Amino acid sequence: MKRASGPFAAGFLAPALLWPQTVQQPVQEQVHVTVVEVTLHAADRTGEPVRGLGPRDLRLYVDGRDVPIESLDWVSNERRAETEPPPRTTAPGPAAPPAAADATPTGRLIVFFFQWHIEAVKIEGHLRMSRQALEFLDTLQPDDEVAVVTFGSSLWLRQDFTRDRARARAAIKKALVLENAPASPEPPSLEGIVRGRDGVTSIEKAFIALGDALRPLPGSKAILFLGWGVGDVSFLAPGAGLGTMRYSPEYERAIAALGRAQAPVFALDVSGGHHSLEAGLERLSFETGGYYLPTWDFPRWAMKTAASAIQGHYVLVFRPPALPKHGFHEIRLEGPPGVKLLYRQGYED
């Protein structure tokens, strides 16, 4: 084939040569999707978990603004019933391939956190609830992992997360012995709280360290706090009312750390009766999404209530609204009548 030549060819090529040449730049699209995930426990008046809730059953408010709920999924931590094989109606054929293993952790991460005190009434309460904790171990599923932590003048890791019930039992029995267990961390691990523990000089700082250690660990988490007090009471401070609760600056940091870790605190009060610091335990439980449970009259009921609450939970997801300021934002949920909702009370952006 001959190439075009002469005036026709020149006239044909000229527009192409004179037309401005532009280089097509690749289009880069970035989508930033930010969601907030909230661990939600729902219980009836007896403390039993409430199942079957959907997004339409709840109203969510962030800093007072009505916000849509993206999803609400129930996560069960109860023992799964074994499925019986179907009856054989035909001759056996080739075996079906085995199902793929689920890599998602199925067990719970449960921390027994003992707040040590030299008073006899506190020791009595610890012994009372230690017996209940040992009974609670017998109800756990094989996948559940237990850690034991003690705070006295410092933070002590008595037992890292383990599925070995004998090791967990031994650690609970020795929870008030202020020493660390032999280091043998296996994922998941709280070994990180041991490093720098000498700087943990208050119960609030202990919760900060515990929240930071739990944050990267996947799965359902709960802290069973066998303690007697958070904060202190001011009777004579200038400008303070009679019996006003006071909290250290580390308290808010502790609440934020526990919220980021999605680790609710179930405060099992080991005191011998009503006392001035129980308001601090109530606030700690409420703001992290757990229960405050006195134990001096009905210790078995208190432990059973905590155990029932962590049988399962909801995962609530929403997109944070555009707000005029950054920082801490309050979460408020409304549910059906007679249903108690336990959840962390805010998030940070």
Model confidence pLDDT, tens digit, residues 161-218: 999 999 999 999 988 876 666 556 667 899 888 776 778 999 999 999 999 999 999 9
Q: What's the whole-number average pLDDT of the chain?
A: 82
The model's pTM: 0.79
pLDDT given for residue 154 in this prediction: 85
Q: Give CATH for domain 32-76+313-349.
A: 2.60.40
Model confidence pLDDT, tens digit, residues 4-18: 444 434 443 344 444
Residue whose pair of structure tokens reads 């959907």 in the numeric block? 54
The 10 Å Cβ neighbour count of residue 90 is: 5
Which of 177, 180, 140, 183 has its CA nearest to residue 157?
A: 180
Model confidence pLDDT, tens digit, residues 82-116: 333 443 333 333 443 443 334 445 689 999 999 98
Both tokens of 32, joined, read 């930033």
pLDDT given for residue 185 in this prediction: 60
In angstroms, rounded to a whole number, what is the distance separating the alpha carbons of residues 144 and 152? 27
Task: Specify the DSSP element, H or E, that contains 231.
Answer: none
Model confidence pLDDT, tens digit, residues 132-169: 999 999 999 999 999 999 998 888 899 999 999 999 99
108-114+131-310: in CATH 3.40.50.410 = yes
In angstroms, rounded to a whole number, what is the distance separating the alpha carbons of residues 64 and 72? 20
The 10 Å Cβ neighbour count of residue 326 is: 8
In angstroms, rounded to a whole number, what is the distance separating the alpha carbons of residues 115 and 126? 9
pLDDT value at 118 more than 60: yes
Model confidence pLDDT, tens digit, residues 235-247: 655 554 556 888 9
Residue 293 CA to its chain's centroid (Å): 19
pLDDT value at 54 more than 90: yes
Domain spans of the chain? 32-76+313-349, 108-114+131-310
**Higher per-residue pLDDT: 336 or 181:** 336
